[in-house]
Amino acid sequence: MNVRPIRKVLIANRGEIAVRIMRTCREKGIRTVAVYSDADRSMPHVLHADEAYNIGPPPSRQSYLRMDTIIGVAQRSGADAIHPGYGFLSENAAFARAVTDAGLVFVGPPDTAIRAMGDKTEARKLVRLAGVPTVPGTEEPLESEEEARAFCQSHGFPVLLKAAAGGGGKGMRVVSAADQLGPALRSAQSEALSAFGDSRVYVEKYLASPRHVEFQILADNEGNTIHLGERECSIQRRHQKVIEETPSVIVNEELRRTMGATAVMAARACGYVNAGTIEFLVDDQRNFYFLEMNTRLQVEHPVTELRTGIDLVAAQLRIASGETLPLTQEQVEFRGHAIECRICAEDVGNNYMPSTGRITHLRPAVGPGIREDRGVEEGGEISVYYDPMISKLVAWAPTRREALSRMDRALQEYEILGVKTNIPLCLAIIRHSEFQAGNFTTHFLRDNHLAGTLRPLSDTERKAVALSCAFLEEEAERIMALTAEVPTDGFSGWKSKRILGMRQ
């Protein structure tokens, strides 16, 4: 394969992932091109880029999802390549194809691999034929209710109906008895149709309480494929991950070798090139089953970077330009423990409703072992148009226990005002005895009603805090009037934070 240097990259994304990609580009001397919607004119991803182009109104359909517009900007700006980030066009095979057809490098897998893994029944068949364990189920979409009934008869209940075009939990239905099968099938089909424009549904045996463990893989154009270990992603709510960590407490060295080799087989099965993730479900006997493949860089990639020391975006760019993987499986070194919290603007107490508005104050956590990836600054807006994730707070330490302490400390340091955040929820999880013991599955958040325990300060408490703050501020102003050196401003922020704050 010819090496094709990449000198300038258009990042077809926004927010923290666009900034994160630009940072590596800058380190590598690669120029960057940002695209932005009308809502994002002064967002950090625009300010981090060497050039920026407006691509339309705030709704994604009219901006970040416009393939032709984005490819046009890439060509006009003289970019050699497009990095799609995650979400938006990142797993759109037609986009990957259009980018390469336009003579540009797509920093991601071949469109054929995206297409093969995008159809979940096809993906299951493909990897099973390559020797990868899959959950018992059908490998063709269901043609009739009778077909579903036959599967249930031979495998027993409960079963799970899933959308063939799906992933991420949309269009899924658990069925635990025969009389629910017909209605569940019809509602799964109609949900799949409206979510994906594709009503095809298949059936799998339902695993009652699995863990979600995924493997990061890297593959180059010469057939070298390696894995970079696992990420434990069981702490999620409604298929939105909240906390991810590596290593997983249930994966020992032997299981890592086996699952890693299996992940590599799955990637090879679809001719995968670039960075990708193989998701597995793991049952309480530590049996593991292929779930799906994510053909993109993932939100939670930083925990893998901290534990392996490998910059995944740098690796993606090298692979995309035709270079050979710089290391073999044996050269991958795993060190310490990394954990990530997704800090989101949401009202946990009000059914996790997104909390939109301006971030009036933001003081991030820093210090030993902390990394933060964020795409919005103080004064920035959390709008209804995009994902409400504010920041990814990541902690590294030699051991899990120390990484959790570090995360706890960082969550305490973090101050955000103007929107509600899930920081108290993250703290409650980190401090939960079962979480600390490593004793949790994908049902952890459903089964532990942590939202109810995150009590904001009562009115009496808020008044007491406000009164003591007012008193202290008066005292401070008196003292400063005497010294007349320090501006009084420095204290007023402190006061309002204490009054408004949700700190535990």
Which residues are the active-site residues? 296
Q: Minimum distance between the CB of residue 204 and ligand MV4, rounded to whole angstroms?
A: 4
Total residue length of the chain: 504
First-residue to last-residue Cα distance in the chain: 56
Q: Which letter does DSSP use for residue 142 in this model?
A: -
- Asked if 388 and 373 touch (Cβ cutoff 8 Å), the reply is no
Q: Minimum distance between the CB of residue 219 and ligand MV4, rounded to whole angstroms?
A: 22
Between 210 and 418, whose beta carbon lies closer to ligand MV4? Answer: 210
- In terms of DSSP bridges, do strands 389-397 and 370-374 run parallel, antiparallel, or are they unpaired? antiparallel
Between 295 and 442, whose beta carbon lies closer to ligand MV4? Answer: 442
Tokens of 284: 């309480």
Between 304 and 442, whose beta carbon lies closer to ligand MV4? Answer: 442
Pairs from 465-471 (Cβ < 8 Å, separation ≥ 24): 465/498, 465/499, 466/499, 469/494, 469/495, 469/498, 469/499, 470/495
Q: Minimum distance between the CB of residue 384 and ligand MV4, rounded to whole angstroms?
A: 25
Whole-angstrom Cα Rg for the chain:
24
Q: Minimum distance between the CB of residue 459 and ligand MV4, rounded to whole angstroms?
A: 37
Between 66 and 200, whose beta carbon lies closer to ligand MV4? Answer: 200
Q: Which residues bind ligand MV4 (CB under 6 A)?
A: 135, 160, 167-169, 204-207, 210, 212, 236, 239, 281, 291-292, 442
Q: Minimum distance between the CB of residue 220 and ligand MV4, rounded to whole angstroms?
A: 27
Q: Which letter does DSSP use for residue 384 in this model?
A: T
Identify the CA nearest to 383 among candidates 42, 31, 18: 42
Burial of 116 (0-12, 13-18, 19+ CB in 10 A): buried
Distance CA 189, CA 196 (A): 10
Between 45 and 342, whose beta carbon lies closer to ligand MV4? Answer: 342
Q: For 220-369, list the strands marked E by DSSP.
A: 225-237, 240-246, 274-282, 288-294, 337-344, 346-347, 353-354, 357-358, 361-363
3-state secondary structure of 338: strand
Q: Minimum distance between the CB of residue 207 and ligand MV4, rounded to whole angstroms?
A: 4
Q: Minimum distance between the CB of residue 414 and ligand MV4, rounded to whole angstroms?
A: 26
CB atoms within 10 A of CB 453: 11
- In terms of DSSP bridges, do strands 8-11 and 31-37 run parallel, antiparallel, or are they unpaired? parallel
Between 40 and 245, whose beta carbon lies closer to ligand MV4? Answer: 245
3-state secondary structure of 9: strand
CB atoms within 10 A of CB 254: 8
Between 212 and 227, whose beta carbon lies closer to ligand MV4? Answer: 212
Identify the CA nearest to 119 among candidates 296, 298, 293: 293
Distance CA 407, CA 427 (A): 8
Whether the CA torsion 247, 249, 251, 254 is positive or negative: it is positive
Q: Minimum distance between the CB of residue 386 and ligand MV4, rounded to whole angstroms?
A: 22
Between 181 and 319, whose beta carbon lies closer to ligand MV4? Answer: 181
